[in-house]
Amino acid sequence: MTVFRILLGIFTIAILLFTGLVIQNHGWNLFPVFFGDIAAMTWAGQFNFDFMCFLTLSGLWLAWRHRFSMVGIILGIMGFFGGIMFLAPYLLIMSFKSNGDMNELLLGDYRGD
């Protein structure tokens, strides 16, 4: 669990630094570039579409983990739009709340059904 938590910390710091540099160099113009690459049917677009599918799964998992409650839906939306910048800190926090129990971390603390 320690290695997993370190990895999540590295992901969080790295993506924050990388995102800061991209914003500094290119501004906040993410969506036109992201969807423009998809519309152009390029390899960059293929990667973006694949990534968007992963983001969708991430958001659905977060909402499911919280039984599609209002909090779960909000977390799911944050996971979809935030990507690893949201998911890594979320998992890090939940890893401590679950005392390192991977079943609880992945399924939530009340999954007995």
- Residue 113 is predicted with a pLDDT of 56
Region 69-81: mean pLDDT is: 97
Q: Is the pLDDT of residue 80 over 70?
A: yes
**Counting Cβ atoms within 10 Å, is residue 75 exposed (0-12), middle (13-18) or buried (19+)?**
buried
Return the half-sphere exposure (C-beta side, CA atoms, 13 A cut-off) of residue 25: 6
**Domain map of the chain by residue range?**
2-107
- Residue 65 is predicted with a pLDDT of 96
Q: pTM, whole model, 2 decimals?
A: 0.89
Q: Is the pLDDT of residue 71 over 90?
A: yes
Q: Which pLDDT band, with edges at 50, 70 and 90, does 112 fall under?
A: low
Given CA atoms 62, 63, 69, 73 in this order, what sign does their dihedral have? positive
Region 66-82: mean pLDDT is: 97
